[in-house]
Each structure stands twice: as structure tokens, then as C-alpha cells.
Chain A
Amino acid sequence: MASSVRSGSTQPPLFKAIASSTRQIYQLLKCISFTAKVHVQITQDGIRFAADHSRVMQGVAFLDKELFTTYTLNLAENEDGALPQFQINLAAFLEALQIFGASDVAAKQAKADAEPYRSNLRNYRPDAFSHQTLGVPGTCCLLYEEDGSPLSIILEETGVKTRCNMVTYTPEQPDDIPFDRDDLAFKIIMHSKWLLDSLSELAPMSPTRITISASPNAPYLALSSGGALGSASVDFTSGRDLLDTFTIDTKWTQSFKFDLVKSATEAMRVASKVSFRGDGQGVLSLQFMVEVEGGTTSFLDFRFVPYIAQDEDDGMDTDEEEEV
């Protein structure tokens, strides 16, 4: 973490990207912060961050190069042309990103706080030539000199310069959870908020698992769970119009570990839409569309492996069908 500045390298760095804000990058990466380390792969189109939880849940955030004002990957330097990849500590990376803006926010706050009754305070008058006053934006630079070197985050704003060197670890890319696009059981596109709302309806019962059913007829989509306190189920019988796209052949029902699905809630919160799909093997795919300022659209991709079908003894109540 020491801020020793590398010197002597005359070659251009393997990878360098500069952004004028870290907000979107932070927002996207926070959505997959359910594991400590993430796998990073740098491509010509953007940076792919992948998190894996015991091969049962995976989350991928892709930072499109459009999120950066400059984006340079010098693959020529790399003989076999392989894309750079490594692992980093995501929690530390997220903390580092938050340094950007910290002092600005504080400075703005301080200014806003200067109420009239304190006008006799001359202490920290805003300087007419401060970056803030002049509207000079800060920059965030991501720098990866060469294979195996640390990933540097260099933040500059309001006269404060910060450099963080993140240790990079040997890549150990897990296999992606297979999701068979050619064997789709159903596909629903809806506001991700409805999915978030549904999960928050189930959460109070402290469930261990969540059962997701999609059916061609009412209730179309149902999420149910049972826990120590009782059972709960959410359905869309009267909410069919909330499902913007709804494609299904036959009824699909699978159960997942509730806490894993819950770890995607940050994505549900920041995204505008979710594409909610299941394949013939029972794998669930949630693709989130995140619209960021400036019209760029980013995607987050989550996959979940279901419980084995006959594994039913979770204390779920079975007498679900009577109506109130």
C-alpha cells in the first residue's frame, strides 16, 4: 500500500485508463462485493471483474471503456497477446475509489456549513483559485505497468494527490457457471425494483431458501420462502403488467439459497431493468442494466446454481394453496 512511485520504466505501461469520476465504477463494483477477491481481466473493450462464491453464485461487472476518458491497452508489449489478468482485493479497491471525492465532499460540506452566524470566522475561506471554485474536475487513473506489477490507482483533485498500489494476485479463473442460452426455460424483463421489493417481502421471515416459479398462467411469477417465523410468498397474479417481457413454455420451479440471491440486492438497487432467465438445468441468470450519467449503459451479470430438486426438507410449509 506504500505510495512508492515507480521510476525508471521508459516503456509505456501495459494498461492505463483515466476517468473523471469514480462514482459509476464504484457503484458497479460494489454490486459484486460479496467475495473478498475478484478476478480482473483487461480487454480492449473494457475491464471485466468477476466474483465467485463456491461455484454456486457468480457475479460479473464489466466496466466499459466508455466509462473512461482515455483507455489504453498496449498488448504489443505482451508477446503472446494474452489479455492481462489477475486477482485483487475488491474491498480495498472499493475503499481506494472512495478516497476520490472524499475531500471534495468534505470541502463542499464545510462551505455549506458556513452559516451566517459564523461569518466572523475567517478560518477557511474558500480560496478563489481552488479547483473547486474554478470547476476543475479531478481525475482517477488506473495504471498496470506490466504483468505482475501492482495495480495503481492515482487520484488527483482539489490539490490532493493520492496513489494507492494494490497488490495483484495470480489469476485463478474459476469456470463460469454454465448457462445455456439455447435452452431457455423462461425470460422475464422487468424493473429491477420489483425484484428488490419481492425479496424485501420475503426477507423478514429469515428464510434459508427461496423458491422461484415462473408459469405461463397466473401467478406468472412467484417467489416464496419459509423460515423460522412463518412463510411468505410474493406473486404477480395481479401484477402481470409489471413484467415487460414474459416468455415461457412450461412451468419452471427451482430453489436457491436465499442469502446468495440477497447478495445481488445492491445490483437490484442501482439497476433500472433486470432480465430474469432460467435454463433447462435450473440455473438462474440475472442480468442487470445500469444506466449511468452520460447515457452509458453498463451490465451486471449474476448466475445461481439451484438446490438439487429433491432436496426439500427446509421446513417449508406445504399447505400454500388455500386462498385468504
Chain B
Amino acid sequence: MVLLRFTLSEEGVNALRDALACLNKFSDEVSLEAKRDKLVFTALNSSKSAYAAFSFASNRFFSKYHYEGIAQNREKFFCKLYNRALLSLFRARSGDSLHDPEKGGSAIERCDVAIEDEAGKKSRFIVKIACRNGMTTKYRLPFEVSPPVHAKFDRNEAFNSWTISSRTLRQLMDHFGPGIEYLDIHSEDDSTVNFTCFTEKVASGDEVLKKPLHTSIAVEKDEFDTFDVSEDKLHIVVSVKDFRAITQHAAFLGSEVSAQYSMPSRPMQIRYDGDGVKCEFLLMTVGERGAPGQRAKKTRAGAKPAPRAQQLEAAASRAASNAPTPAPRPTPATRREPMPSLRPTAPRQSQRPPPATLDHESLFVPQDDDYQWEPVRMNEDEDEEEADARLEWDASDRPNPSAVKMSSVIANQTAQRSGPGPDNGMDQDQSLSYLEPTQRLSQARQFGLFND
């Protein structure tokens, strides 16, 4: 029995995909919640410190939308889906108008989605994508009926707020390098707001050089559309990864981003709207009231244990479905598992710096055709791994063998000169006259070079 049916245009598919791509940065699973007036996709990250929700208005976002509901629960239906599958089937099709001007090729004409949930039958999330040329693809995905966890936010206690253009925010974020964990936002004085990125990873000895770039940006306060923070120098600290995911999506929509929060270790709400969609995020902020700046320093020095797990508070719904699912789960406890603060667990996406060339991730003006100068890659997989191992500065505890210490170089130098192995051709006992190792141009000219 079909309990929900809706139709998307090509643009609708694109907007949905953008939202799913953003949700995917929080969790592999996405929760769907359907009501008569809206369809909501949410995700809560594994450490329960970040929550994202996209609410699509049924009358504005969809070409058609019909919610039937089921007997057990007329009000709403919910389920969980594996986001990667959704992302791949809602991907952009090549509307290759060059090869196929008359038909628009395999660009999406329309996309019909239906959710079937019936006793004794497999529950299905069915997507039918019709391309302009007439080809039709039908996908059937399994889903699990389990209630979404919504994080709670008390707007009344959140007396601090600001709004800023998503584009400005995105530009700021581009200055932050890879490997950093936290973003600290605070007002410096009456006219400046400071965005500072830092990491809590302890670094000592040789590891010092593997610390990520520490970046801070002073922004004029009037760059914000509003900035209403009651307490001066209130440091509010969130996870960079989550914040970046939000700013990237917000920049697509080009909307105004507004943030509301109360104090450290209480959630921050970030909101913005698109056409027919409301986007809302809750990020648990780190730190303690009073001296967040110092706290970070102390932790760095190892004098203080890691901050206590900070999680969002949940508001769960009751399961109601015919689908053969595991018994309704107990409401996920909010403070049960010991999770390490906001630090992303086992980063799936390695935060390695982008290959210095083809810099897809930056808005800086690309430098010429720099990729041509990248070293050769013979065996793509193998090489990539090797290159990554050399580029990663944060993800592993292993000492990086490529980190040259000058002292070891000194030790090696003597050995290299006399030792076997590649013939360096730099024997000192050659009795021929030596050329100064570094030539000035004038010296080169003496050999008849560059005399033009």
C-alpha cells in the first residue's frame, strides 16, 4: 500500500541531492519523516553532537505530493534510509544537449517517489526516474522503520544571535587549512569578530611540525547583518567539520545564515531557508562557561582531561509501521555511550590537504595549469596511498618517516658519502677541480650560457 507519493522536477531532484549531500556529512543514515504538510530529512551524527534537518514544504517544493498515512499513525510516517544509495540515484544525469539537442538526452524529466509499507510485504522506497529521452529507471530500496531522533533546542534560552551572508561565511572558511578540529567564534571588541581554528591534539618534539596550520581571521562586525551577543568576548566553539558542511550547503542557496546560542556547552542553532526548504542545524558547543580560551590551552598542555562528552538532547517519536523491522528501539539515550566530545571519531574522510594542484575545494583563484607539474603517478592506487601517507599530518600516530630531522641528515651525510647504494656522484675524493655548488648567473655566463 502506498502511503506517500511525491513527484520532483529536475530542479527538485538537484535541491534534494544538495540536502542529502549535506546530511551525508553528518551520518551514513538519513531519517525521513513524512507529514501532510512537509517532508523532513534529518541526520544525527554518531557522537550525537550535531544534528541536521531539512524540511521540504509539501505545497511549494514538490510538483505533486500526496500523503496517505497508515492506519496505526495517520499523522506521520518515518523510516531510515542509507544515504549513499539515495545520493547515487538522485545524482545529476547528463543533460547532454550537445549530443542530443532534440531530446535533452538522459536529463531528468521527472522523478516519482513512492513509499510502500504493508503487512506481509517488503517495505519499499521506490524511485522512478524518467529521462527526457524516454528511458525510465526504477529503483527499489529497502528501509528500516525506526523513529528519527530530533535534537531539542530551547530558543528562549538562546539570547545570543547573529546573521551573516552565507557567501561571506564560506569565504572565511576557505582560509582554514586541513586537519583542524574546532572553530572558535568570539567578538574581540566593539568592531571585530574573530574566527579562530585550532586543534587539541597534543604535539611535542618532532610532532610539533605536524601540527595543522593555526588560523584566525578578524572580521569587521558590520560584515554581519546583525550581531547581538550580550556578553563580550564570549567564546563559542564548534566542530569545524560540521560548520564547514553547513556553510558549503548554505552557500549554494546563497541565503542568510542565522545562528542562535546561549553559552558554551549548550547547543547552537544555525538556520537558513531555501525555496520551499528550511534548513536547521544544532551543533553542540564545546568548552566551559567563563574561560573557554584557557581551557583549550590547558588541554593542549595535557594538564586537563578531555572535555566531557557533550551531546544534544533528543526528542524521539514512537514507531508505527507494518514493516518487518526490529522491535521499536528504545529511545536512544542521550548520555549513555562515552563519546569523545565533538572530535569526529575515526575520520572516514581523511582531512588531507588537497593535492596542491586541481584545487576543487578552494575559492582561491587557481594557479595556472599547476597540475602539469605534479609528479608522475604510475600506479594510481599504490601511489595515491603513498602520497597520502606523506601528506597527512593528523590522522595517525605513526611517526611520519618522511619528516626529515636535520640531525638525522647530518648522521646520514657521512654514511652516504662513503656507503654503498646509489652512486651519488658527489665523491669528495675526486681530485678534479670543483665547481661551486651554487652558481651565480654570472658564473654560468662564464660558460657561455645565457649570453643573449
Asked, given contacts A229-B84, A230-B85, whether A242 binds B133 with beta carbons under 8 Å apart, the answer is yes
Contacts of A235 in B (CB 8 A): 135-138
Interface positions of B from 124 to 163, Cβ below 8 Å from A: 126, 128-131, 133-142
Q: Is A113 an interface residue (CB 8 A)?
A: yes
Most chain A Cβ neighbours within 10 Å, of B106, B137, B369:
B137
Whether B139 pairs with A205 at a CB distance below 8 angstroms is yes
Given contacts A193-B105, A197-B131, A236-B135, contact A229 B82 (CB under 8 A): yes
Q: How far is the CA of A229 from the CA of B88 in the complex (A)?
A: 10
Q: How far is the CA of A317 from the CA of B89 in the complex (A)?
A: 18
Contact with B along A183-227 (1 / 0, CB 8 A): 000000000011001100100110000000000000000000000
Contact partner of A233 (CB less than 8 A), chosen from B96, B133, B137, is: B137
Taking the nearest CB of chain B, how far is it from the CB of A72, in angstroms?
35
Interface flag for B91 (CB, 8 Å):
yes
| Residues 177 to 213 of chain B near chain A (Cβ within 8 Å) | none
Q: Does A231 contact B372, Cβ atoms closer than 8 Å?
A: no
Segment 359-417 of B: residues with Cβ below 8 Å from A? 368-369, 372
Please measure, in the bound complex, the distance between the C-alpha atom of A245 and the C-alpha atom of B89, giving whole angstroms: 29
Query: Which residues from chain A contact B121 at a C-beta distance below 8 Å?
Result: 319
By the criterion CB–CB under 8 Å, are B133 and A229 in contact?
no
A194 near B369: Cβ-Cβ < 8 Å = no
B369 pairs with A113, CB closer than 8 A: yes
Bound-complex Cα distance A121 to B63 (A): 59
Decide if B122 is an interface residue (CB 8 Å cutoff). yes
Cβ of A137 < 8 Å from any Cβ of B?
A: no
Chain A residues whose C-beta falls within 8 Å of the C-beta of B452 in the assembled complex: 122
Contact A317:B368 (CB < 8 A) given known A193-B105, A239-B133: no
A241 beta carbon closer than 8 Å to chain B: yes
B336 contacts partner chain A, Cβ-Cβ < 8 Å: no
Residues of A within 8 Å of B130, CB to CB, are: 238
User: B residues within 8 A CB of A30?
Assistant: none
On chain A, the residues within 8 Å of B116 by CB distance are 322
Q: Bin the interface of chain B by size.
A: 35 or more
Contact call B88/A204, Cβ cutoff below 8 A: yes
Question: Are B85 and A109 in contact, with the CB atoms below 8 A?
Answer: no
A113 to B82, CA, bound (A): 46
Is there an interface contact between B369 and A231, defined as CB atoms closer than 8 Å?
Answer: no
Most B Cβ at <10 Å: residue of A113, A232, A317, A320: A232
Q: Does A5 contact B (CB under 8 A)?
A: no
Q: Does B288 contact A (CB under 8 A)?
A: no
Bound-state CA distance A113–B136 (Å) is: 45
Do the beta carbons of A234 and B372 come within 8 Å of each other?
Answer: no
Does B99 lie at the interface of the complex (its beta carbon under 8 Å from any beta carbon of A)? Answer: yes
CB-based nearest B residue for A106: B372
The B interface, classified by DSSP as helix, strand, loop or mixed, is mixed
- Once bound together, how far apart are the Cα atoms of A233 and B116, in whole Å? 18
Distance between Cα atoms of A236 and B130 in the complex (Å): 10
Among candidates A109, A231, A242, A320, residue contacting B135 with C-beta atoms closer than 8 Å: A242
The residues of B that contact A229 with a CB separation of less than 8 Å are 82, 84-85, 88, 141
The reply to whether B135 and A197 form a contact with Cβ atoms under 8 Å apart is yes
Interface status of B114 (Cβ within 8 A of chain A): yes
> In the complex, what's the smallest C-beta–C-beta distance from B402 to chain A, in angstroms?
28
Evaluate contact between A109 and B369: CB separation under 8 angstroms.
yes
Chain A residues with CB under 8 Å of B106's CB are 193-194, 197
Cα–Cα distance between A324 and B114 once the two chains are bound (Å): 7
CB interface residues, B 92-122, toward A, < 8 Å = 93-94, 96, 99-100, 105-106, 112, 114, 116, 121-122
A205 to B122 Cα, complex, angstroms: 18
User: B127 — nearest CB in chain A belongs to which residue?
Assistant: A324
CB atoms of A230 and B133 under 8 A apart: no
Report chain B residues within 8 Å CB of A231: 139-140
> A241 vs B130: C-alpha distance in the bound complex, in angstroms?
15
Does A194 lie within 8 Å of B141, measured CB to CB? no
Contacts of B85 in A (CB 8 A): 204-205, 229-230
Residue among B129, B134, B138 facing the most chain A CB atoms (10 A cut-off) = B138
In the assembled complex, how far is the CB of residue A125 from the closest CB belonging to chain B, in whole angstroms? 10
Residue of B89, B94, B136, B142 with most partner-chain A CB within 10 A: B136
B contacts, CB < 8 Å to A: 5, 82, 84-85, 88-89, 91, 93-94, 96, 99-100, 105-106, 112, 114, 116, 121-122, 126, 128-131, 133-142, 368-369, 372, 452
Contacts A232-B140, A319-B122 given; 14 further ones with Cβ under 8 A?
A: A194-B106, A197-B93, A205-B85, A205-B139, A229-B88, A230-B85, A230-B139, A230-B140, A232-B139, A233-B138, A237-B134, A239-B131, A242-B135, A324-B5
Return the 10 tightest CB-CB contacts between A and B, nearest first: A239-B134, A204-B88, A230-B141, A229-B85, A238-B134, A201-B137, A197-B106, A324-B128, A239-B135, A234-B137
**A-B residue pairs in contact (CB < 8 Å), sample of 27:** A109-B369, A109-B372, A113-B368, A113-B369, A193-B106, A194-B133, A197-B135, A198-B135, A201-B129, A204-B91, A205-B88, A229-B85, A230-B140, A230-B141, A230-B142, A232-B138, A232-B139, A233-B138, A236-B135, A238-B130, A238-B135, A239-B131, A239-B133, A239-B134, A317-B140, A319-B122, A324-B138
